Structure 1
């Protein structure tokens, strides 16, 4: 009588290939090995992926900046070294536990959004994130250019933009409309560089500090207005409300005050 092989691995290999137990065990082993390899690769590649995302974000912002009339020359004159930081909007300071790499995950948590009262929600957002990624350019220790992502509701839907402010934090250096759903040939003209160029040099507040920015119904008639677009009054109003909201107390207002106090 043949002696029973006491080695479980050899006994397993000796099973016929048609054996259901052998098929299930092999499938489990293959899946486990693949899972371990994927997990290991994820851990090893995470720093590279983080660096690549940061480089892609920087390239995206630089591409957007090149789309702002006159911004390329402005960056060249200032050295062109942009830095980025995630800010806690309500406190106007750098976030302590949220970075550019973790911002998306943070904003996937509904607790990191603040509901807006109807009277304050002039941009039509209903809620705004508690954190935002901003970009800035420094000359020495002073901020010479501040780039602020904006979003709001136009006539056709959401409008996204990046607003660039000069170091006085009151003069618009330029704007880039990065996304919109406005009507082609009417409100859709907000993506035209000829319209966006009218923002450069526009002031936001008067001497008393009141926010005066507006999009005119026709041609701009003062230092706080930009030209309107014929037949697109509601789009212009949406852009104006978007800028006014984000530069107000529920948007970047606390950040701007902190910069003015020299705390940022």
Structure 2
């Protein structure tokens, strides 16, 4: 009986020690790999911005090309640039979860279903001889299954779309997940988000954009079989270009008062 107990004790001891060793190995790997993971995450984000802004780049030179883009922080409460926080280190996602650096949104205005909006946002500018050629805005909002995070790039007129796309979304593959399909995002460039008086005008007809319609320049095809995801995209764009998002900033930009 004693010999049998010794065997059980040894088995338990070996199992516990093995678990401890595995835990140490996994924890160490996580610690050592975190800097590399963060670097790759940053590169992926920079690459997404360059693609959406239609800035040519070589895969091995993403960081170098991204240096041509100016990062600035906008105070969404005033619609003006601020140096209150650093563009290089500011994390808008984290700030939106902190009650001291964000505001809760009333359901009537929270059409993007984000619940809270951070006080600041990092925007990206492409400039030439002191003139803004493109402005890239971070946007996010809820689709059918997930909060979708992406960027909307506008020409310097703040009306014409340069590009649009998501770098993080969890919609249904083959349906709502088609928000990542180049065939769909390829429809966006050249479309107008505002009319001549800068009223939001972008539309998503279920039957597709109508070339014979006077609103054709404002129309984007809906995603087939993904009505709720399409509506989510429409709502998030409308929110972030409105008064509770970048609306005041864009107005200041047009007036030269940002």
Please say if residues 206 and 222 of structure 2, whose CA atoms lie closer than 8 Å, have aligned partners that are also in contact: yes
Deviation at 1:90, TM superposition (A): 1.3
SS state at 2:239 partner: helix
Q: Name the count of aligned residue pairs.
A: 207
2:172 paired residue number: 183
1:23 paired residue number: none
Please say if residues 215 and 239 of structure 1, whose CA atoms lie closer than 8 Å, have aligned partners that are also in contact: no
2:231 paired residue number: 237
Deviation at 1:56, TM superposition (A): 7.5
Larger-Rg structure: 1
Deviation at 1:72, TM superposition (A): 3.1
CA distance in 1, matches of 2:140, 2:73: 17
Deviation at 1:242, TM superposition (A): 0.5
- Does residue 72 of the first structure (1) align with residue 66 of the second (2)? no
- Does residue 116 of the first structure (1) align with residue 99 of the second (2)? no
1:126 paired residue number: 115
Q: Deviations over 1:209-237 (max 9, x none)?
A: 21011222131121111111111011111
Q: Deviations over 1:36-86 (max 9, x none)?
A: xxxxxxxxxxxxx9xxx89984x4444113443x81359xxxx97211011
Q: What are structure 2's unaligned runs of at least 5 residues? A: 1-34, 58-64, 211-215
2:148 paired residue number: 159
Q: What are structure 1's unaligned runs of at least 5 residues? A: 1-48
Q: Deviations over 1:192-251 (max 9, x none)?
A: 111001010110111232101122213112111111111101111100100000000000
- Does residue 168 of the first structure (1) align with residue 162 of the second (2)? no
CA distance in 1, matches of 2:184, 2:230: 11
CA RMSD of superposed structures (Å): 2.5
SS state at 1:240 partner: helix
TM-score by length of 1: 0.72
Distance 1:121 1:114, change over 3 A: same
- Does residue 227 of the first structure (1) align with residue 221 of the second (2)? yes
SS state at 1:135 partner: strand
SS state at 1:120 partner: coil
- Does residue 194 of the first structure (1) align with residue 178 of the second (2)? no
SS state at 2:253 partner: helix
Superposed, 1:1-264 pairs within 5 Å as 57=42, 59-68=43-52, 71-73=54-56, 81-104=68-91, 107=95, 109-221=98-210, 222-264=216-258
Deviation at 1:112, TM superposition (A): 0.9
CA distance in 2, matches of 1:239, 1:55: 27
Structure 1 runs of 4+ with >6 Å offset? 53-56
Distance 1:233 1:249, change over 3 A: same
